[in-house]
C-alpha cells in the first residue's frame, strides 16, 4: 500500500490546488497570465464581489512579471550550469587523479545537500555584494550599446537581482545535471572510446565525437530536469532576487521576482486578506507553477528514459 502514497499525494496536490484556486481563476481571468500589476487591494476595507467570489475592493492580480522573471532566471541558470556540469562530468569520468575526482564528487554531493536557505544567505550577503562592487560595473561599462548586449548595461544595483539569482540557481542545479551526466558518461562503452584513441584521437576529440553524441539525449534530458528544479526553487531566489512584484527588470542586474518566490514572499500579505482571496490567488500561481514543472519534468523523463537513468539530486541514489 505504501507504494501508492506518492500517487495519492500527487493526485491530492493537484485536486486541492485546483479546487482552492478555482474562484481565483474565475475572477482573475486571463489577465492573470499577461497582466503586470499585483495589487491585493484594500485588505482592511470594503469587500467587493465578482461572480459570487468575495475579494477586497481594488484587488487585481497579474503574474506576468513573476513568470517572466522565472523564465529569465532559469534560462540564465541553465546557460551557466550546463557547460560547468558537462566539464565536471568529464573531470569525474576521464583522466583526473583519483583524489581530485573524489574532492569533486564530495563537492557536488555537499552542494546538493546544502539547504537552499544557506545558499540564499551566501548569495545575498557574500556573493551579491562582491559581484555588484567589483564585477558588474566593469562588465556594464564595457558592453556595447547594441541590441542584446545593451541588456548588460545600465545601473548594476547592490547585488540583489536577476544575474545573482541566476548564478546561485546554477549552483543549485549543477548537482543534478552533473551527476546525471556523469552516470551517462559512465555508461558509454569503453570499446568505441578505445577505438577512437587507437585512431589517435585526443581526449577532447573522443569526448566530442564519441562520448557526448552517445548520450546527447540524456544530457538534454538532465538539462530540462535542471530547468524544472530552477523553476521551482523558492527560498534562495526570494532572498537574492529582490522579490519585486510589479516590474520586469530592464537589465540583467535588476531586481525581479519569480513565481515560486512570490508564493513565499506574499505569504504574510495573503494571511492578512480576510476574504482569503489572496491565498486563492497564490494557489492559482501554484497551479501555474506545478503544471509547468510537471510538463517540463515529463519531457525530461521521456528524453532521459531513452538513454539511461537519472542521477539523484543528492547522494546518487535516484
Partner 1 sequence: MVARGARVASDGYPSTRRRRIAEQAFRALTLLALLAVVAPVIWVITGIVARAVPHWRWSVLTTNTVGASGGLENAILGSLAIMLGVLIIAGTLGVLGGVYLSELAGFNRKGKQRGAVLRSATEVLAGVPSIALGLVGYLALVVQFHWGFSVLAAVIVLSVIVIPYITRGTEVALRQVPTNYREGAEALGMSTGYSLRKVVVRSAIPGIATSVLIALAISVGETAPMLYTAGWFTGIPKASLFHQPIGYLTYPVWTFWDYPSNQAHYLAFDAALILLVLVLVLLVIARLVVARSQRFAENRRN
- The end-to-end CA distance of the chain, in Å, is 21
Judged by CB under 8 A, the chain residues 254 through 273 that form the site for partner 1 are 260, 263-264, 267
Judged by CB under 8 A, the chain residues 21 through 80 that form the site for partner 1 are none
CB of 145 to partner 1, least distance (A): 30
Interacting span for partner 1 (CB under 8 A) from 54-62, 102-110, 149-157, 189-197: 102-110
303 binds partner 1 (CB under 8 A): no
Judged by CB under 8 A, the chain residues 122 through 181 that form the site for partner 1 are 122, 124-127, 171, 174, 178
17 binds partner 1 (CB under 8 A): yes
Nearer to partner 1, 47 or 104 (CB): 104
The CA dihedral of 297, 298, 304, 310, to the nearest 10 degrees, is: 50
96 binds partner 1 (CB under 8 A): yes
197 binds partner 1 (CB under 8 A): no
Selected from 186, 195, 209, 213, the binder of partner 1 by CB under 8 A is 186
20 binds partner 1 (CB under 8 A): yes
Interacting span for partner 1 (CB under 8 A) from 3-11, 40-48, 137-145, 151-159: 3-11
Q: CA torsion sign, 17 to 68 to 217 to 114?
A: negative
Interacting span for partner 1 (CB under 8 A) from 31-39, 143-151, 204-212, 244-252: 204-212
DSSP strand pairing (47-50 vs 53-56) = antiparallel
Interacting span for partner 1 (CB under 8 A) from 28-36, 42-50, 115-123, 150-158: 115-123
Amino acid at each position: 500500500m505504501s507504494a501508492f502514497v506518492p500517487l495519492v499525494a500527487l493526485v491530492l496536490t493537484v485536486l486541492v490546488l485546483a479546487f482552492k484556486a478555482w474562484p481565483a481563476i474565475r475572477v482573475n481571468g486571463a489577465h492573470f497570465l499577461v497582466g503586470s500589476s499585483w495589487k491585493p487591494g484594500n485588505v482592511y476595507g470594503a469587500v467587493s464581489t465578482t461572480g459570487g467570489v468575495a475579494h477586497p475592493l481594488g484587488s487585481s492580480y497579474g503574474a506576468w512579471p513573476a513568470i517572466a522573471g522565472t523564465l529569465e532566471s532559469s534560462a540564465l541558470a541553465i546557460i551557466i550550469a550546463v557547460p560547468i556540469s558537462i566539464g565536471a562530468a568529464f573531470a569525474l569520468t576521464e583522466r583526473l587523479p583519483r583524489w581530485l575526482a573524489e574532492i569533486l564528487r564530495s563537492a557536488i554531493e555537499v552542494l546538493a545537500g546544502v539547504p537552499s536557505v544557506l545558499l540564499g544567505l551566501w548569495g545575498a550577503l557574500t556573493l551579491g555584494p562582491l559581484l555588484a562592487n567589483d564585477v558588474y560595473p566593469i562588465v556594464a561599462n564595457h558592453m556595447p550599446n547594441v541590441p542584446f548586449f545593451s541588456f548588460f548595461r545600465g545601473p548594476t544595483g547592490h547585488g540583489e537581482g536577476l544575474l545573482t539569482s541566476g548564478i546561485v540557481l546554477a549552483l543549485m542545479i549543477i548537482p543534478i545535471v552533473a551527476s546525471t551526466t556523469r552516470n551517462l558518461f559512465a555508461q558509454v562503452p569503453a570499446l568505441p572510446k578505445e577505438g577512437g584513441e587507437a585512431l589517435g584521437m585526443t581526449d577532447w576529440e573522443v569526448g566530442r565525437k564519441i562520448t557526448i553524441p552517445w548520450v546527447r539525449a540524456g544530457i538534454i534530458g538532465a538539462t530540462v530536469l535542471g530547468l524544472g528544479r530552477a523553476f521551482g526553487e523558492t527560498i534562495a531566489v526570494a532572498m537574492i532576487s529582490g522579490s519585486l512584484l510589479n516590474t520586469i527588470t530592464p537589465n540583467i542586474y535588476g531586481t525581479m521576482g519569480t513565481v515560486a518566490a512570490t508564493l513565499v514572499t506574499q505569504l504574510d500579505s495573503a494571511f492578512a486578506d480576510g476574504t482569503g482571496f489572496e491565498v486563492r490567488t497564490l494557489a492559482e500561481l501554484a497551479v501555474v507553477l506545478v503544471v509547468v514543472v510537471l510538463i517540463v519534468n515529463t519531457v525530461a523523463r521521456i528524453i532521459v528514459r531513452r538513454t539511461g537513468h537519472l542521477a539523484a539530486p543528492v547522494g546518487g541514489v535516484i
